[in-house]
Amino acid sequence: MFGKKVLGIDVGGSGIKGAPVDISSGRMLTERYRIPTPAGAKPDEMIEVIGQVIKYFNWRGPVGLGFPAAIRDGTVLTAANIHKNWIGVHLPSEIKKLTGNNSSLINDADAAGLAEMNFGAGREKPGTVMVITVGTGLGTALFYNGALVPNTELGHLEMQGKEAEHFASDFIRKKDELDWPTWAGRFNEYLSVLEKLFWPRMIIIGGGVSKKHEKFFQFLNVGAELVPAQLRNEAGIIGAAVWAHHLRV
C-alpha cells in the first residue's frame, strides 16, 4: 500500500524535473519528467515551465519545490545561477495562482540532503553530516543528528580569490576542460576548508558527478567518511516532496 503522495519538482539552472513521490518509501512513482530551463532563467518563463510539469502529471495534490537559492518562508532570497529578478519572489503564491496547487519551497541542496538523510547514504547517521551537490553550482546541506540547518550556501565561500563554485563546480570542470585529477585536486581543497569549519563525520557527494564518483574519489583525501549520494539525481525531487509533507502543505 502506498502512503501519502507528493509531486516533487527540482528546479535547476539547466532543467526543471519532477515526479510523484511516495513519502513513506521515498520512491518516485513514475519516471521523472524534465523540461530544459528557459535561457536567461527568468521568473515568468520558469514559473510557466513549473506549471507545465504540474499539468503533465495532472496533479491535484501538494507540490514540493526545490530551488537553487537561499529560501526563507517560501521567498527566494538570492540569485547566483538564475535571473536576479527572482529575488523576492514568493514561489508558492505564484504556483497557487497558476495551477491552484499548494506548494512549499526549499533550497535544492537542502532537499537533496533531506532525501539522502531519510532514504539514502545518510540514513540513521548521527552527528554532523554534510551533503555537497556538485553541478552548475556547489550546493551544501548541513545536518546534526538528522536535523537540517537550512541555507548554508557554502558554495559561495571564498577560495583563491574566487567563490568556491567558480573554482570547483562541475560546470567549471567542463568549461575549463579540467581532467579528473586536476579538478579533484581543487575539489579536495574545498572539502578541506569545509572540514576545518564543521568537522563532519560523513560527507555525501551528490549532484551530476555522483554517478561518476569512481573517476575522482581516489584523488580525495579527507578525514570524514566520504560517500556518493545513493539517490543520485533523484534526490532533489524526493527531498522537495519530503519537505512539503513535513510542512503539511
Size of residue set near ligand BGC by CB under 6 A: 15
**Residue 69 found at the interface with ligand BGC (CB under 6 A):** yes
Q: Which of 99, 118, 133, 233 binds ligand BGC (CB under 6 A)?
A: 133
**Residue 81 found at the interface with ligand BGC (CB under 6 A):** yes
Quick one: which of 98, 105, 102, 104 has its CA closest to 48?
98
> How many CB atoms sit inside 10 A of residue 76's CB?
22
Rounded distance between C-alpha atoms, residue 223 and residue 126, angstroms: 16
Q: Which of 52, 78, 102, 192 binds ligand BGC (CB under 6 A)?
A: 78
Q: Which of 20, 68, 74, 122 binds ligand BGC (CB under 6 A)?
A: 68
- What's the chain's Rg over C-alpha atoms? 17
Can you say whether residue 88 is alpha, beta or left, with left for phi > 0 and alpha for psi between -120 and 50 degrees? left
Single-letter amino acid, residue 40: G
Helix (H) or strand (E) holding 149: strand 147-149
**Helices 235-247/108-119 angle, 10° precision:** 90
**Residue 108 found at the interface with ligand BGC (CB under 6 A):** yes
Q: How far is the CB of 216 from ligand BGC (least distance, A)?
A: 18
Query: Taking CB positions, which residue lies at the least distance from ligand BGC?
Result: 137
Q: How far is the CB of 78 from ligand BGC (least distance, A)?
A: 6
Task: Scan residues 190-209 and list those touching ligand BGC (CB under 6 A).
Answer: none
Rounded distance between C-alpha atoms, residue 76 and residue 72, angstroms: 7
Task: Scan residues 27-56 and list those touching ligand BGC (CB under 6 A).
Answer: none
Q: What is the x/- site pattern for ligand BGC, positions 158-177, by CB under 6 A?
A: -------x------------
Single-letter amino acid, residue 189: E
Q: Can you give the binding site for ligand BGC, defined by CB under 6 A?
A: 68-70, 78, 80-81, 107-109, 133, 137, 139, 153, 155, 165
